Structure 1
Amino acid sequence: MPEIIIATIMRPYGETGVQTHINCFREFLDSQSIKNRLITSFSYYKWLVYPIFAVRKVLDKLSGPLSVWWYRYWHAYFLRLALQQQLPLVKQGIIYAQCPVSAAAALTARSSRNLPVILIVHFNISQADEWAGKGYLQTDGGLYRSIRKFEAEVLPKLDGLVFVSQFMHTELTKRIPAIAKVPYAIIPNFLPDPGLTANQLIDADLISIGSLENRKNQQYALEILAALHKQGLMLRLTIVGEGPDRTKLEQLCAVLQIQDYVVFRGFVKNAAALIDNHIACIHTATLENLPVSLLEALARGRPVFALPVGGISEILGEANSVGLALPTDDANAAALVIANAIKDKNWLHRTGITARQRFLDKYQSSVTAKHLLNFLSNPRHSIN
């Protein structure tokens, strides 16, 4: 079996779905005794890397586009050096890149095509759109257009593409028709089975997990909670995550007069464990590829309430058997959907069982990571 070389510009550990995916896959590879290594921008000499990266904290305050350019350029630069340093030690391998920047660095660093480069598409629409969603770029700006052009140039050169949702395969093929010739697989995100906690004490109501930024749309979750209160159902909401929108969200709680019913937990290591003592998970992002936080809820037998956008519809399924789709722009209607479901104990029990089984069948590492490994080993044939 070739060695799996995971290439990323991100740190090995953190709260993002990308880092969760990397660590879950490495855990699976280790369990199968398959040699693997993680090479990041931080794998190069730290005395060179860290001073350069520290400059971005200053640039963040000065210019969004310059900060993004700095981040992408220097992370790519040091990842390329780290790959050039370590790839000669690999006799037979597969480079599994975690973003277009990582993929481009790998294409440059590899010594021959005997080291295939396969990219997993974690991003939503484009990395340019993600930076715009965080407020760093304008969609009519030069760097925004440059990033999308960069992706259109790099992706067709790859030896394979992995999509975690049918949604992103459709969107990306539409935007970059040249990738139609690249072998691909649609393989959802996956997680190791956490098991069910014995004698679970459910003493909280709804939980939302995700970075606090505009695209995640937590303000809508707060509006729904306020609407629930007006309808007479005094539910509580736990918000887990950090981000630039925290102050704005806390202020909105005061305006809506729900501050006593909302708890901001900030960043919590292994935040998914908090799902165990909540009734259900709510997710109000306006665009998602395939959010890991919802898979965490299914794994723990918890229903999900979510906007049916992007790949989320694929999690909910046509019959909404693991939860319910919420209206995207009507907090009162969304609150009514949740209220009717929460009051129905039979629905909660039945949906929780179905959610758990759906996780075991489709999103469990021991099942789905095998499909990923098979494709990485032989990307000549597409898997849908």
Structure 2
Amino acid sequence: MEELLRDLTPQVLGVLVRRGADFAAAEDAVQEALVEAVRRWPDDPPAEPRGWLITVAWRKFIDARRSEVARHRRELADLEEPVPGPTEQRDDTLRLLFLCCHPSLTPGSAVALTLRAVGGLTTRQIAEAYLVPEATMAQRISRAKRTIGAADVGQPGDLRTVLKVLYLIFNEGYTGEVDLAAEAIRLTRQLAASSDEPEVAGLLALMLLHHARRTARFTDDGALVPLADQDRARWDTAAIAAGVEILQAALARDRLGEYQAQAAIAALHADAPSAAETDWTQVLEWYDELARLTDSPVVALNRAVAVGEVDGPLAGLRAVERVPDDVPRHTAVRAYLHERAGDLSVAHELYARAARQATSAAERDHLTRQAARTRSSV
């Protein structure tokens, strides 16, 4: 029952919002309906759970409105329960997703609200995933609800914003008891099922291709394993095949976007039997396409790595010089290219500096090992 309620919650919330309920009040009503469902369903399960929840939640909302605006009873006539019709059968999750990505919200607030309202996660689960106190996350979500309530809900977030939010969720990976990467894939699948935009498919393909390498990214004791050193036998071949198929269909639409280009790069890595057999020439060509689509300095840094693989480490270092030095991993990339060029003393110094700049313990430990290894080779 828990999984069913989680799937139905965003649909029911979306219906109430579409009927005119403000976001915060609608969620309160849905939560009350869920409590009632947990109490009543085990002994008396409804024939149509979704319809039951919509009816109960709407009545909860009406009751709350009546208590708040009793002096305006005549205005409530328009809020009486609508006669059920075919429009009630449509899935409102998509509208809710776009609403949670409203342009007035910061990316962090949009992520939190999406996970709460569309993903059905508890505030505690979201707080644990982002390593912040539950009270802090509750305040963030409450502020987001108030912002939505005060904003023009007729102008939800655009598709680009929604995709960015979903990718931010995916990149958090697995923390606490919540697998945010899997949750992002689930939400993106829902979006892809309702959209014919190739960039939606491109993002889904990118997620699947990256997620396919998940079990090989760390050793049993938690040490980071770089892509070149990963055991490719541990990659999820079914997820790779699915990602490639989705990507090919998207590329066939001939409306290239940055997520499709990133997915194409990931597919080339997934297709190589070993790191040495990676088609770096094609990888570089796709990075050139990606650089034309976005002015991201992160893309420019990753492209410099590809340049180093195709044209040699000195060419890669020249490409790195054109990237701002405050871009994450800038120092680590320079260390890698200097090592490739045979300048181990400089590589050692840069690896050590990169370790001090690392934002996670796993990355710091990996770079520290690289620094120790290059020092012993000098």
Structure with greater proportional helix content: 2
- TM-score, shorter chain, exceeding 0.5: no
**Bigger RCO (CA 8 Å, 6+ sep):** 1
TM (norm. structure 1) is: 0.26
- The structure whose Rg is larger is 2
TM-score (norm 2): 0.26
